[in-house]
Copies of this chain bind each other. A is one copy, B any other.
Amino acid sequence: MFDSRHIRTFHEVVGSGSYSAAARALGYTQPAITQQMKALERTVGVPLFIRAGRGLRLTEAGEALARHAEVILGSLSAAQQQLSALSRLRAGRVRICAFPSANATLIPEAMARLLAEHPGVRVELLEAEPPESVQRLLRGECDIALAFGYPGAPGQQAAEGQTPPELVEIPLLEDQLTVLLPVGHPLARRHAVRLSDLTEERWIAGCPRCRANFLQVCAEEGFAPDVVFTTDDNLAVQSLVAAGVGIALMPTLVLSFMSHRKVTGRLVEPHLRRKVSAYVLREHLRVPATALVLDELRSAAAARVGC
């Protein structure tokens, strides 16, 4: 197997016509070139040069190798160019898996800035609710997973159980939960409502994990809510609330981009919130494109502080 450095040196020697010139061009001293070419001739088993007075002349083998050197160095250079593009963010693909409300808020905001600065980067977006998205990450189906979790619930972390050690969690924002009331509801005149004032209401619950968290919070407040409807479709929840079927808890993030005309959100006491984080394989942090997307997500989340 040839040493690519020898090939490059050989090519330079052929191009410049002398050992000394090649040494100057490559930043070596002249004896280094002599040694390299000697080593190359040893591996080839045939002389490559014939000394002709002050200049060098190629043997038949030298001519052949010179032709091949062009090809070899060309393919090496092509590889280098593509990988350099990946490392310099002139190229790269990032697959993100996120939940719907992030897809409607954080992701578009981050993407706008990202694509403006790095037009060569490509993003693929998948939609999945939290437990699923992290599993996809672990299965290698995506590079970044956006998930939310409710604090204090061991079994309710983004991944099943605790976050696996090879996973890195990047906290993005704390999403306040609000009580969704139909306009005209007696409590809608207040700025914030107490959960304990809502024990007699009928409730509409969201996704399974949201519902589980909701039930737990109510239990801590000392009551069991009357859940009359369950759906993970945020639009359906809002419509049901508007129709007077019941009231619901809903993250502010959702309300920031979608709000039924006939519903209104009110802060709830005690403060409830879900934690939105990005997850990534630890080793993936070193992939430039992935790190870039994470940065933009962080920025987008920071711009929403208090949301």
Interface residues of A (CB under 8 A from B): 1-5, 7-8, 44-47, 49-52, 57, 59-61, 64-65, 68-69, 71-72, 75-76, 78-80, 82-84, 86-87, 92-93, 140, 166, 281, 283-284, 286-289
Contacts and interface: CB of A to CB of B under 8 A. Distances in A.
A237 B92 CA distance: 83
Contacts of A2: 4, 76, 79-80
B86 A60 contact: yes
- Interface of A (DSSP majority class): helix
B140 A50 contact: yes
Given A5-B1, A82-B68, A46 B287 contact: yes
A168 to B, nearest CB: 13
A59 B288 CA distance: 11
Given A44-B83, A93-B60, A50 B283 contact: yes
Contacts of A166: 51
Contacts of A47: 283-284, 286-287
A49 B281 CA distance: 12
Nearest to A51: B283
Contact of A79 (B57, B65, B80, B283): B65
Nearest to A41: B286
A83 B1 contact: no
A173 B140 CA distance: 77
A262 to B, nearest CB: 47
A46 B4 contact: no
B76 A1 contact: yes
A101 to B, nearest CB: 28
Contacts of A76: 1-2, 72
A64 B82 contact: yes
Given A52-B140, A140-B52, A87 B3 contact: no
